[in-house]
Structure 1
Amino acid sequence: MAASDYRELSLNGLWKNNPAIVQLLGLCPLLAVTGSVVNALGLAAATTLVLLCSNTAVSLIRNVVSDAVRLPVFVMIIAAAVTCIELLMQAFTYELYQILGIFLPLITTNCVILGRADAYASKNPLPLAMCDGLMMGLGFGVILVLLGALRELLGTGALFANMDLLFGPGAADWHWVMVQDYQAFLLAILPPGAFIFTGLIIAGKNLIDSEIKRRQDALKARPVKGSKRVRVTGTIS
């Protein structure tokens, strides 16, 4: 397990193979609960923890479970992790738990989690499986928070409203009003806004990838400094 393995897993989870904007998995919660940053953060934290726990458990039992019962066992592991996360949220962030509602238990059927358990964790040792789960969760969470921030900012003219639901009473003052007397842009908060901004984020990533590829191709085409060109002269008879 070289350091390059962990770098590749990090790059895949956060950018090259991001589950939200490359694989386009888990779009139902991505589009449904990202009306604000606090909602996005809550779901991002829950999904990342479930990914980390499920990948860890699946990797530990990968040589014990037969192929015949592999998928049902994976689903049971994911469901148990989701249940634990739900109980923790009920105990410490009950109001946010109520806001997220059905989308918390639906993490059990999130294609990102089952897909990583089956495609990676079941075939790799524990450290790599844990790293994969963490990076995929962070990659998914970053897009959730970015989308939530864009929709909240353009929809209400403010950021970080109701952060006390997640971080306690001390976070009540985190609310940052960007524009006073802002006329609410309802499209950003409503479901069509989620589709629009998700498309814009995907388009932005594709543009960045295209520019990176263009620069790499330009560097490859550039002659190496100090190299000499050999000029061939003569006639062909």
Structure 2
Amino acid sequence: MKEFTKGLFRENPTFMQLLGMCPTLAVTTSVINALGMGLSATAVLVASNVVISLLRKFIPDKIRIAAYIVVIAGFVTIIEMLLKAFLPDISKALGVFIPLIVVNCIILARAEAFASKNPVGLSALEGLGMGLGCTGALTIIGTVRELHGAGSILGINVLGSGFSPATII
């Protein structure tokens, strides 16, 4: 359980480790975008952690980072195709940031620091905790930005029709 909860709070990749800040700032303009990116990254993180953990004894040290990128790229491609097929609006809103998950430092860091050194079950649990921690952080930032920028949460106006983003400044 410790491996799961550390990603949620103590070692949160976004708030505590300050990893992945470029896509964090780019995609968190709304709660929906934040959830879309966070859940996509979580799926890639869990799946890649499992595969990398399974292959950890077979990947030579000299090519391990390249091997991790290939594994991660495969899962990112699957997620991108699923988003385009079933959630085209989110896919369009997230744009180039979904393919950039391939080189996201959160995912690469977890592959190198944890999945490559631990068994499959722990790696999956750790990936899920880190991914959900990242998703939570993105959602919090997206909520604040959407509320202040549009006066809404999940597209629902909560600050009334008289709200103007310029009045906050």
Compute the TM-score of the two structures, normalised by the length of structure 2: 0.95
* Aligned residues between the structures: 169
Q: Does residue 103 of structure 2 align to residue 109 of structure 1?
A: yes
Q: Does residue 119 of structure 2 align to residue 139 of structure 1?
A: no
Q: Does residue 86 of structure 2 align to residue 86 of structure 1?
A: no
Which of 36, 47, 51 aligns to 1:57? It is 51
Matches for 1:153-168 after TM superposition, within 5 Å:
153-161=147-155
Which secondary structure state, in structure 1, belongs to the residue aligned with residue 116 of structure 2?
Answer: helix
Q: Does residue 3 of structure 2 align to residue 9 of structure 1?
A: yes
Quick one: distance in 2 between partners of 1:187 and 1:82? 40
Superposed CA RMSD: 1.6
Q: Tell me which of the two structures has the higher relative contact order, counting C-alpha pairs closer than 8 angstroms and 6 or more residues apart.
A: 2
Per-residue deviation, residues 153-186 of structure 1 (Å, max 9, x unmatched): 122221111xxxxxxxxxxxxx3x2122233325
Which secondary structure state, in structure 1, belongs to the residue aligned with residue 9 of structure 2?
Answer: helix
Instruction: Tell me which amino acid in the other structure corresponds to 1:178.
Output: V
Which residue of the partner structure matches residue 151 of structure 1? 145
The 8 Å contact of residues 30 and 144 in structure 1, kept in 2 or not, is answered as yes
Matches for 1:29-44 after TM superposition, within 5 Å:
29-44=23-38
Quick one: distance in 2 between partners of 1:130 and 1:37? 26
For the pair shown, which has the larger CA radius of gyration, 1 or 2? Answer: 1
Quick one: distance in 2 between partners of 1:31 and 1:109? 16
Offset at 1:136? 0.3
Which secondary structure state, in structure 1, belongs to the residue aligned with residue 65 of structure 2?
Answer: helix
Compute the TM-score of the two structures, normalised by the length of structure 1: 0.68
Instruction: Tell me which amino acid in the other structure corresponds to 2:6.
Output: N
Q: 1:187 to 1:18 in 2, by over 3 A?
A: farther
Which secondary structure state, in structure 2, belongs to the residue aligned with residue 182 of structure 1?
Answer: coil
Offset at 1:11? 2.6
Q: 1:87 to 1:22 in 2, by over 3 A?
A: same
Quick one: percent identity of the two aligned structures? 42
> Which ranges of structure 2 fall in alignment gaps of 5 or more residues?
none
Q: 1:11 to 1:92 in 2, by over 3 A?
A: same
Which of 139, 157, 165 aligns to 1:185? It is 165
Offset at 1:187? 9.6
Which residue of the partner structure matches residue 166 of structure 1? none
Instruction: Tell me which amino acid in the other structure corresponds to 1:29.
Output: P
Q: Does residue 65 of structure 2 align to residue 71 of structure 1?
A: yes
Instruction: Tell me which amino acid in the other structure corresponds to 1:55.
Output: N
Q: 1:187 to 1:36 in 2, by over 3 A?
A: farther
